[in-house]
Amino acid sequence: METSEIKFGYNILSLSALDSVRAGVMAEKHGFDSVWVPDHLIEDGALVDPWSVMAVIGTQTKHVFLCTGVTDTQRCHPAKTAQSVATVDELSHGRAGLGIGAGEVMNIVPFGIPWDDDPRDRAQRLREAIEVIKLLWGSSKEKMVSYEGKFFWLKNAWLDQHSTQKPHPPVYVGALSSTRLLELTGEIGDGWYSWLVTPETYTKRREKIKRAAERTGRKLEDIDTVATIYTAFADDPRTQRKLTELTRIEILMSDYTGLKSFGVKLPLPERYTYQYVSVTERYSPVLVEMARQIPEEIFKKYAAIGSVDDCIDFIESFVKVGAKHISVCDLMIDVKGLAGVEETLKTYGSKIIPYFKEQTRK
């Protein structure tokens, strides 16, 4: 089994700002390579401003990579996003990245921000935002930049805040199953930030990235394709049932397309899919009842809730299909908060990460 250079990331979810910093510092202590902080205004497993949290984590750590998982193009002009990332990059001595996606209704519509109904417009807005951000990262007073797009414009613009990484911090495109966004990743992304993938869906979506990359003269090996997974170390049957039910809902909303590819065809209205669902409807009776219909054997492709061995087997299923960066969403955070985070990080640091390092040496 090829396991060289396997990296482990940790997603900080559902914690206060102070506890998010503590979790990020602990993640580095226990051997994690990256920390991912979501960017939501309304709680969806996210509470904090990611740039502030990553800046503080960056000043209290030495090695861990820091990235949003992910921000969007609507709530903040690309110039401000570019400045924020460059600032965190300086404070962390070159360890910041930008995870950015096309956005979702829950963070846009309640705040009166225009929402692009056409997915082609959302993809184009994302493309333009990334192009503008990269232009600005390479700008200076002596090298002003201009840009004219459908959604964004620059005229003799520059940033005085420069990034430490050259030519710029890496940009990870957040994409669920959208072919447009996966192809965009292959064309201009430095990485792909997936969400709730299985070995099968990860492989199929990465292949789309590969084909798009090759069409533009790039190589898949130059794009960091992150496999984001759900795990929980839980022996108590009641806790397992609770976490399983919550995760089934997430799977249904986030990867309805993937479920259909496994033959699970449920009549889910579009308004309940991740891009469109409101936070107030996330646990509606419709979603709860429909999520319960996901077969157990399909559920186990998406998450590992059980023992350390269960988790290792789960991660190995991704490694076998070529995943080299595993980013962990810790379900125990919903049960024990920061205490659960610490338990999970210790277990990964003492048993799981060493296991994969040992496999690498064989």
Q: Note the pLDDT tens digit of each residue in 45-65.
A: 778 999 999 999 999 999 999
User: Whole-angstrom Cα distance, residue 98 to residue 39?
Assistant: 11
Is the pLDDT at 1 greater than 60? The verdict is no
Provide mean pLDDT across the span 31-43. 94
The C-alpha atoms of residue 35 and residue 282 are separated, in whole angstroms, by 26
Query: What is the number of structural domains in the chain?
Result: 1
**pLDDT (tens digit per residue) in 173-196:** 999 999 999 999 999 999 999 999
Asked if residue 283 is part of any domain, the answer here is no
What pairing do the DSSP bridges indicate for beta strands 224-233 and 325-330?
Answer: parallel
Please report the pLDDT score of residue 4 as a whole number. 60
In a domain, 330, yes or no: yes
Instruction: Look at residue 104 and tell me if it is in a domain.
Output: yes
Q: Decide if 255 is inside a domain.
A: no
* CA angle at 80 for the pair 76 and 83, rounded to the nearest 5°: 145
pLDDT band at 2 (very low <50, low <70, confident <90, very high): very low
Q: Following CA atoms 162, 164, 170, 174 in sequence, which dihedral angle do they give, to the nearest 10 degrees? A: -60
Residues 16-25 have pLDDT tens digits of 999 999 999 9
Q: How confident is the model over 284-334, as pLDDT tens digits?
A: 999 999 999 999 999 999 999 999 999 999 999 999 999 999 999 999 988
* % of the chain with per-residue pLDDT over 70: 98
Q: Once rounded to an integer, what is the mean pLDDT over residues 84-108?
A: 97
Which residues are within 8 A (CB) of 361 and not within 5 positions of it... i.e. 6 or more apart? none
The Cα–Cα gap between 303 and 261 comes to 17
CATH number at residue 15: 3.20.20.30
Position 27 confidence tier, pLDDT thresholds 50, 70, 90: very high
The answer to whether residue 144 sits within a structural domain is yes
Q: Span 106-125, mean pLDDT? A: 96
As separate numbers, helices (DSSP H) first and strands (DSSP E) second, the chain gives: 14, 11
| Cβ proximity of 208 and 186 under 8 Å | yes
Domain that holds residue 71: 7-234+303-361
Q: Is the pLDDT of residue 152 over 80?
A: yes
Evaluate whether residue 284 is within a structural domain.
Answer: no
Say what the pLDDT of residue 3 is. 42
Residue 362 — pLDDT band, cuts 50, 70, 90? low
Residue 135: predicted pLDDT: 98
Q: Is residue 289 part of a domain?
A: no
> What does the pLDDT look like over 225-237, one tens digit per residue?
999 999 999 999 9
Express each pLDDT in 126-140 by its tens digit: 999 999 999 999 999
In a domain, 248, yes or no: no
